[in-house]
Amino acid sequence: MADKKEAAGKKGFSLLGLVGPIQFVMGILLAFIGGALFLWIFRENVAEAYGALFKGAFGSKRYIGEALLSTTPLIFSGLAVALGFRSGLFNMGVEGQLVFGGMVAAYIGYAWDLPRVIHLPLALLGGAVVAGLWGSISGYLKAYHNIHEVITTLLMNYIAFAIADYMIAVGGPMKADNELPVSPDVLESARLVRLWEGTRVSSGILIAIFFAIVVWFFIYKTRIGYKMRAVGFNAAAAEYAGINPKTMTVLAMALSGALGGLAGAVEVLGVHYKFYAAFSPGYGWDGIAVALLGLLNPFGVIAAAFLFGVLRSGSITMQAIAGISKNVVSILIALVIFFSATNKTLEPILKRLLGGIGSGKELELNTEQEGDR
């Protein structure tokens, strides 16, 4: 046992950081193999289908743009779920928070006339804050009344949807002056700029990546992030150390909600320039899958969101060119999630292999990867 002691000071180079990415890629590969099996069973041409899917995602500038377009809100919703999980909370309410975020951002965007440098940040911030407050209600109920957040976040989605419908229904406070159930157009000064000529990609993607870095930094480097993780892993131990688990729970739900709100805000301010009920095709729900596939790591979330963006955008072309239902992509997404979950079982083996290569000696297995510091 003495040799273990000596190892304590040394830091060999480690390949353990590769465990996550390997799992990620393996999940995707296995999903595509499984998807091929489904296509084969349904007597579809596998090569044609995947070819069309790939073409639909990367075939032209516009297609790539569409993939990145979906990636943007998915990064935010994935971050929202991941941050919740890191604090021991399962935020099922991202879709509702997203709708709120979009709604408030749109309101600030059309109702207030401000210079650009203030208007755009304020619209984003407003969406985040209101969605954060909305989310913190679930945090409060969890912390002080012990009502499970899965139930409250899930059900509050439907309240959010109903409020949103009311806002733009006939006679609603945000209804535009026309026949459609939409809000007025957001002023130019509150719109995200187009980033790439010939596509709809806005600067929202940069904001999303920036926030992924911020969230990573927040979770792993700040005092509050540390406390949230402590509460998430073991609230009793956190309490013992003098951290208030109740405060952290409310705060974590608020921040998670705020990220969900940003997903809606960037979507409204970057793509639609107005608010309407169905502006999100389920980005909030997909956030759960994105977070899990990204192994709850903010950088993993970026990769997972991009994958989902690609699948989403490719599926449209696949349906158009190859005549294969885009539901195949739903199957693929389900398989990706399934295999990334089952890949967890390979984690100890991967760690042993990579740990052995890196340090020249066996590392003891640890079940949780703590950041990549």
Can you give the binding site for other proteins, defined by CB under 8 A? 1, 4-5, 7-11, 221-224, 226-227, 229-230, 233-234, 236-244, 352, 361-368, 370, 373
Q: Which is nearer to other proteins, 67 or 143 (CB)?
A: 143
Answer yes or no: are the C-beta atoms of 143 and 256 closer than 8 Å.
no
What's CA 328's distance to the chain center, in Å? 22
Q: Which is nearer to other proteins, 180 or 349 (CB)?
A: 349
Give the shortest CB-68-to-other proteins separation in angstroms.
32
Q: Which is nearer to other proteins, 178 or 367 (CB)?
A: 367
Give the shortest CB-168-to-other proteins separation in angstroms.
39
Q: What are phi and psi of 337, to 5 degrees?
A: -65, -45
Q: Which is nearer to other proteins, 230 or 333 (CB)?
A: 230
Q: Which is nearer to other proteins, 42 or 240 (CB)?
A: 240
Give the shortest CB-281-to-other proteins separation in angstroms.
35
Give the shortest CB-242-to-other proteins separation in angstroms.
3
366-370 LR contacts (CB < 8 Å, sep 24+): 368/233, 369/16, 369/19, 369/20, 369/295, 369/297, 370/220
Give the shortest CB-9-to-other proteins separation in angstroms.
7
Token couple for 370 = 């703590």
Select from 292, 153, 132, 302 the least CA-distant residue to 214: 302
Q: Which is nearer to other proteins, 2 or 117 (CB)?
A: 2
End-to-end CA distance of the chain: 27
In angstroms, the CA 107 to CA 113 distance is: 11
Give the shortest CB-345-to-other proteins separation in angstroms.
17
In angstroms, the CA 119 to CA 187 distance is: 9
Answer yes or no: are the C-beta atoms of 12 and 354 closer than 8 Å.
no
